[in-house]
């Protein structure tokens, strides 16, 4: 299905996750973050870059993996992306929802 994000039609699934990462850019990211009530900071961008790197390497994402990453501690991760940090952060990063998320 299509969703209008940043005045562009973007291909998304029923949960709003991008289907084509090539459509993702910082403007799309900022708009999705805004929909999630997240205001992007440098730390947010650092986490997004980490998640995208893991995805492109086809490495599974999990809260436990984030904890061991050295990029961010779990408490800060929950503060940056409240209400389901892994779901929200991957949605904002333009990558599929991890299998570890319900």
Q: Which residues are catalytic?
A: 101
Asked if residue 3 lies in contact with residue 22, where contact means CB atoms within 8 angstroms, the answer is no
Rounded to the nearest 10 degrees, what angle do helices 85-93 and 42-56 cross at?
80
Spatial neighbors of 42 by CB under 8 A, at least 6 apart, are none
Residue with tokens 């990462």: 21
Measured between its terminal Cα atoms, the distance across the chain in Å is 21
């Amino acid at each position: 299905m299509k969703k209008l994000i940043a005045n562009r039609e973007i291909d998304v699934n029923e949960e709003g996750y991008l289907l084509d990462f090539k459509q993702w850019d910082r403007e799309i990211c900022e708009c999705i973050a805004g929909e999630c009530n997240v205001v992007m900071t440098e730390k947010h961008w650092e986490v997004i870059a980490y998640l995208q790197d893991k995805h492109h390497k086809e490495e599974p994402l999990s809260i436990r993996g984030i904890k061991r990453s050295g990029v961010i501690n779990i408490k800060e991760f929950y503060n940056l992306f409240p209400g389901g940090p892994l779901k929200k952060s991957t949605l904002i990063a333009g990558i599929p929802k991890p299998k570890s998320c319900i």
